[in-house]
A and B are shown apart, each in its own frame.
Chain A
Amino acid sequence: MSPARTVRLVAAREISTRARSKAFVWTTAVVLVLIVAGSALIGFLGGKEPEPLHVLVTDDITATALERAATATGTLVETDVLGPLAGAPNLSDDDVLVGLAPDGTVHVTVNTEVPSDLGPTLTVMAQQQALGAAITSLGGDPAAVDAAVLSAQPAVTTLEEPTKGPDLGASILGQVVGILIFVAIMTTGQMVAQGVVEEKSSRVVEILLATIRPAELIAGKVLGIGALGLAQVAAYVAVGAGSANAFGLLDGVDVDLWSAAGSTLVWFLLGYAIYALLFAAAGALVSRQEDVASVTTPILMMLMIPYAVGISVAPWDPTNTLVTVLSYVPFFTPLIMPMRSALGVAAPWEIVLMIVVCAALVALLVWVAGRIYGRAVLLTGARVPLREVLRAR
């Protein structure tokens, strides 16, 4: 039987048993619901799309004139053409009826008073009509004057380079990417550690290793859990990007969401590979679930440090030296570099270089963690000292 088939069988077991576990299904579902609900809430509260003011008009000419005035004042107006009216219109409480007389007078009919946010628009409309009438009477073309007025722009000369503070959208995106990668690597990595200890504590590892090689077992486990984690992260990213789009969170925000999503997935994969191998080797050192924490704590600290620095500094100061330096430390890169990418301060050469460095680190860890795992996984006892494992022949 080929090693590839063995690894595939092991990975398939990891995926099928974990994907069906209630904890996994519920966690994923809850996070997805939270992402959608959060986007909806931000979209709703943020009010990126204010409700248009509803105005009744007598005819299409009035509608056009009103809309032009609304554009000039930056007000969102929606018109509803009623057609010519005979007698007093029947208006409900906050209805506004606007009619343009042939002489250019703007007639506004309301029940009690003109809504305050519509006032400037109506004033501008009246002024435009008056201006138009004046231009016509002077023998000019009101449309040509309008066009000239609209295209007039001040000429601005900048004396100094603007200090580019982080864009709000990029800053939020950087935080979201940082949190997502950290949480994903931490949960999947601990899944690997617990999976290794589960096999060791239930002693099933002995019949497994009487059948397949330690390298095949750990490769299948890391790949299976990794595939599952990748699917989970991809689902979070896709649903997050989709709902951010749907609820208008990206309107007017200058971020490249899809490249951020792609970089998140790449750095998750590299970061997961590095930490999963560390967690696997650490898990092999203990025989009981209660002891897992004692060996995984140092690894969790390694995850926490770059995350804490990155999330608390980078979004407000993307070019911070500490952040930049930490993003070159291979174990920290997968947590910080995607944040810098999302903030738009990572140069392409940095990204490519660190992808290569991290891939090399993964190759090295496959060897080191594979040896530690292979030697420690069959040794029982409270805890196998790492020194003993490394020294063994």
Chain B
Amino acid sequence: MTRLELRSLTKSYGSRRVLDDVSFTVDGGEILGFVGANGAGKTTTMRIVLGVLVPDGGEVLRDGHPLDAAQRRSIGYMPEERGLYPKMKVGEQLDYLARLHGLDAAAARAATREWTERLGVAERLGDEVQKLSLGNQQRVQLAAALVHSPEILVLDEPFSGLDPVAVDVMSSVLRERAAAGVPVVFSSHQLDLVERLCDRVGIIRAGSMVALDTVEALRSGGAPRWRVVAPQAPAGWAAAVPGAHVVSEGPDATVVEVTHDGVEQQVLAAALATGPVHELARVRPSLTDLFRDAVAGTPHTQEAQA
């Protein structure tokens, strides 16, 4: 099975360091979600994988060996900045790209047919790309990334601009390629999708990886949080409990972070002292919370990384 590995990538533009020791591995059959704020270094990382940018340090390996030009050709790539020849017909364009990736004419034509049918743009084969709607152009762009049966997939924001139907098609294609043993990396700001699709998630902030683990591990990592619903509790009721730290307090519920298991019982006791308690439940941070924390640089996820 193919394995893609990024080892200690660094990149600077002038004095501005945009990547600092970025490393991660994607195994065949695995989908890695790559998230981070705008400008955090996702696109730079992907461009380095594709050889479009040269890193200042570090390397990209496939099965333990540095990627060569022929192997780069076997990567399916969807750049963040979408790009196709606007005045070229959909079919000719995909044929051409498939042939540039090394397919012969017949195989290129067959692959073009197959992918345009799967992605629902087969009836537009003879139309110029610029005449297609933006959504359909996106589908053609995805077809362009898939048309040469890539052995590795690197997709920068593949879901942006897609309608819900296309999102489903795209999701199923990614799952299917992964199931066929292809390592898949994609970046996205749609964290619910990342959470649903990915086996693992890497979070990058200001050029450094701040988290890299399964969604499950990321969510259960960090200090446990509890949600307490005690309607008659006055404000600040939990502040006196040792080892507890109020994350948020509102009329409906209070969220308390505890230093270790067992403290929540003292929190409960404090809550009961104010009146009835309707609920005490463990809160797992959503990926969105983790992302927000990671981007903000709070310790929550940095501990999770350890």
Report A's interface with B, CB cutoff 8 A: 1, 6, 9-10, 13, 17, 198-199, 202-213, 378, 380
**Interface status of B83 (Cβ within 8 A of chain A):** yes
Q: Which B residues lie within 8 Å of A204 (CB)?
A: 83-85
Q: Which residue of A lies closest to B101 (CB)?
A: A211
B142-178: which have CB < 8 Å to A? 144-145
Whether B75 pairs with A210 at a CB distance below 8 angstroms is: yes
The interface bits of chain B over 76-96 (1 if a CB of A lies within 8 angstroms of the residue's CB, else 0) are 010101111111100000001
The interface bits of chain B over 92-119 (1 if a CB of A lies within 8 angstroms of the residue's CB, else 0) are 0000110111100000000000000000
Q: Which A residues lie within 8 Å of B85 (CB)?
A: 17, 198-199, 202, 204
Whether A378 pairs with B83 at a CB distance below 8 angstroms is: no
Interchain CA distance A380-B81 in the complex, whole Å: 11
Given A13-B96, A202-B84, A207-B97, 4 new contacts (CB under 8 A)? A9-B100, A202-B86, A210-B75, A211-B101
Q: Which A residues lie within 8 Å of B75 (CB)?
A: 210
Interchain CA distance A207-B81 in the complex, whole Å: 10
**Interface status of B51 (Cβ within 8 A of chain A):** yes
**Interface status of B306 (Cβ within 8 A of chain A):** no
Q: Which A residues lie within 8 Å of B79 (CB)?
A: 203, 206-207, 210
Interchain CA distance A284-B69 in the complex, whole Å: 23
Q: Which B residues lie within 8 Å of A207 (CB)?
A: 77, 79, 83, 97, 144-145
Query: Which of B47, B83, B145 has a CB less than 8 Å from the CB of A203?
Result: B83
Whether B81 pairs with A206 at a CB distance below 8 angstroms is: yes
**Interface status of B52 (Cβ within 8 A of chain A):** yes
Interchain CA distance A17-B97 in the complex, whole Å: 14
Whether A206 pairs with B52 at a CB distance below 8 angstroms is: yes
**Interface status of B284 (Cβ within 8 A of chain A):** no
**Interface status of B244 (Cβ within 8 A of chain A):** no
Interchain CA distance A10-B75 in the complex, whole Å: 19
Interchain CA distance A11-B165 in the complex, whole Å: 38
**Interface status of B73 (Cβ within 8 A of chain A):** yes
Name the distance in Å between B62's Cβ and chain A's nearest Cβ: 15
Whether B81 pairs with A203 at a CB distance below 8 angstroms is: yes
Closest 6 CB pairs of A and B: A203-B83, A204-B83, A210-B50, A203-B81, A206-B79, A1-B102
Name the distance in Å between A65's Cβ and chain B's nearest Cβ: 73
Q: Which B residues lie within 8 Å of A378 (CB)?
A: 52-53
Report B's interface with A, CB cutoff 8 A: 47, 50-53, 69-70, 72-73, 75, 77, 79, 81-88, 96-97, 99-102, 144-145
Interchain CA distance A9-B100 in the complex, whole Å: 7
Whether A210 pairs with B81 at a CB distance below 8 angstroms is: no
Known: A9-B99, A203-B81, A204-B84. A209 touches B69 (CB 8 A): no
Interchain CA distance A13-B93 in the complex, whole Å: 9
Q: Which residue of A lies closest to B46 (CB)?
A: A210
Q: Which B residues lie within 8 Å of A205 (CB)?
A: 83
Query: Which of A6, A206, A211, A213 has a CB less than 8 Å from the CB of B83?
Result: A206
Known: A1-B73, A17-B87, A210-B51. A203 touches B82 (CB 8 A): yes
Q: Which A residues lie within 8 Å of B70 (CB)?
A: 1
Q: Which of B51, B79, B83, B86 has the most CB of A within 10 A?
A: B83
Whether A211 pairs with B81 at a CB distance below 8 angstroms is: no
Q: Which residue of A lies closest to B99 (CB)?
A: A9
Whether B100 pairs with A17 at a CB distance below 8 angstroms is: no
Q: Which of A1, A199, A378 has the most CB of B within 10 A?
A: A1
Q: Which B residues lie within 8 Å of A210 (CB)?
A: 50-52, 72, 75, 77, 79
Whether A202 pairs with B100 at a CB distance below 8 angstroms is: no
Whether A211 pairs with B88 at a CB distance below 8 angstroms is: no
Q: Which B residues lie within 8 Å of A9 (CB)?
A: 96, 99-100
Name the distance in Å between A320's Cβ and chain B's nearest Cβ: 46
Whether A209 pairs with B52 at a CB distance below 8 angstroms is: yes
Query: Which of A17, A212, A380 has a CB less than 8 Å from the CB of B88?
Result: A17
Query: Which of B81, B82, B100, B144 has a CB less than 8 Å from the CB of A212?
Result: B100
Q: Which residue of A lies closest to B81 (CB)?
A: A203
Query: Which of A17, A198, A211, A380 has a CB less than 8 Å from the CB of B73?
Result: A211
Q: Which residue of A lies closest to B72 (CB)?
A: A210
Q: Which A residues lie within 8 Å of B81 (CB)?
A: 203, 206, 380
Interchain CA distance A340-B97 in the complex, whole Å: 46
Whether B97 pairs with A211 at a CB distance below 8 angstroms is: yes
Interchain CA distance A10-B99 in the complex, whole Å: 10
Name the distance in Å between B140's Cβ and chain A's nearest Cβ: 12
Q: Which B residues lie within 8 Å of A10 (CB)?
A: 100
Name the distance in Å between A193's Cβ and chain B's nearest Cβ: 17
Q: Which residue of B lies closest to A217 (CB)?
A: B100
